[in-house]
Structure 1
């Protein structure tokens, strides 16, 4: 019995290793300098101990700070907690973030000014609010994903900007566009980081999140790792 378990563990490790190696072998043109000169400020949700938490950073990721955590405040009314921030929007004119989180068993709308530490409850029974997340369209450009490969459509011409090599699965493999920077010069996208669905599934069994977010310079096609974000809003100063 122990021998079978040992062999099973070895097989899982080998499959995971092969999946990662196949993917990394087909990934190139990465350059951390892509992030260095990005301008503006980003607001984004990122999982911390399984909870979607709101962060703020300059776009070049030099000063990432916690903006707000709803940890321990999302009482569902059923004896447990859902502390996720499920939607948010930063209003530049008022320097205020509006977000939705659980309180006393109800999804509720809150506001939080940049200078405050405690949010204000605005309305209960709210499931969604206005958002300004990154979009896959910018002027005459559109980013799409087909069978895991990233395409850029510009002025009627479509070209591949990131080719996926592996066994495509809509849920477990491939690249997916997140959206363009405010000037349209960069594209944020997500990679599942595996060449096979099984590799992604196995990784998901041992990791809180699977995949990596990247940002690409459209003109050079160079990419760099970016924030491990769920949703991103990019505000120009």
Structure 2
């Protein structure tokens, strides 16, 4: 656990490691993230900072996994997109510190994304919308044929979901793209009428092998 309430994550590349370490940047070995604290931020480190005001999840890089499913409205095949990490940091629920995690995990119920990350995901049918069921506003998949909202709960949280329990065979057919850039976002914010509820925004990526025929 990083016992710091406010951190500033830094998008550091290999060639710059020596320089930023000398300028006071910190490195978390578990999550693989470089960061500094507000009172330590100086001119030399500012060029590595994303322009974002609030966030509760940070990863040193991310995987964009594009798979396919049948839309539950028009029943046509459409592409769907998921963001996956192998290591990351998440803010504690009490807001007083950060937890370092090294585990294959999908992120969902994403409320906000910096512009650069939106461009890197490169998915025209993945955009900010409001869930009819929960009232949450988050980045969600939409059917490429009929435009139906394909909410994150069904894709990540139910027994036969499309991503969390993706089979190895389906994973091999998916398009997996690694983006070697810092990922910063806000996820899991509840709808205005359910402020006290805790909204899930992470799940383990448990790729499974189909049983023999």
Determine which structure has more spread, i.e. the larger CA radius of gyration.
Answer: 1
Q: TM-score band, normalised by the shorter chain?
A: under 0.3
Which structure is richer in relative contact order (CA contacts within 8 A, separation 6 or more)?
2
Q: TM-score of the superposition, structure 1-length normalised?
A: 0.24
Q: TM-score of the superposition, structure 2-length normalised?
A: 0.25
